[in-house]
A = this chain, B = another copy of it.
């Protein structure tokens, strides 16, 4: 592929419309997540509490807009402004939970379908991160932390709203805070937000904006597919371990440990252990 064609492709991706196909994929993935989160109780729950099931699905699907609006002091219900999006989300929810013989659910869980839907969801995630950063940058031109925060909740809102959305289904899991053990999509959204900010605010990145955007889409899709197909969940972990060892106590703790042991004259147990953060679990 020659460079101009590639740039053209990148431009196409940048301007791609999300409605309806990509939003549909997003809604399908969200509803599948809710259904899997309900586990074996999904069938009775969806029959006994259809309203709660529908509302928690809507909250999950529109999580990024809800959270971004909440943090930016905009009307939370603004996330539900567009009747077409709600209709689409409701149809998807209905088909996933109530289709005869669970036909739609089974099709969506079928590996090739799932891979395509997951890849499409990553495209929409990239767009959301980008829009979130741009929107925050308009309101707070110097609030870099705010831009990252909005980009991240736009990119991975469903994870942050999880405990609230579970609460809507009567389940309370305070340990499932995304903040406690950020998952890969959160870290990737943070990274993407930072890249978009650098691209927008500085001259450090000299490639065209469309290429940056396209590169992040590819990064998102690539790691999503490795996660589904190869089981590689979090490529950030080694860097985090290194960072933690250098800056967040690792080396100093080890040194302190050695000194304490030396003082004790306890030469038998010089076991120095740099704390290593385990790979964040994908599901809890």
Contact = CB atoms under 8 A, between A and B. Distances in A.
Interface bracket on A:
35 or more
A229 interface: no
Given A248-B47, A253-B47, A80 B149 contact: yes
A219 B249 CA distance: 40
A33 interface: no
B76 A70 contact: yes
Counted per complex, copies of this chain come to 3
Interface string A104-121: 000000000000000000
A97 B259 CA distance: 19
Contacts of A181: 49, 52
* Closest CB pairs A-B (n = 5): A73-B75, A172-B174, A100-B252, A77-B146, A170-B180
Interface of A: 44, 46-52, 55-56, 69-78, 80-81, 83, 86, 97-98, 100-101, 136, 139-140, 142-146, 149-150, 163, 167-172, 174-175, 177, 179-182, 244, 247-250, 252-253, 255-256, 275, 277
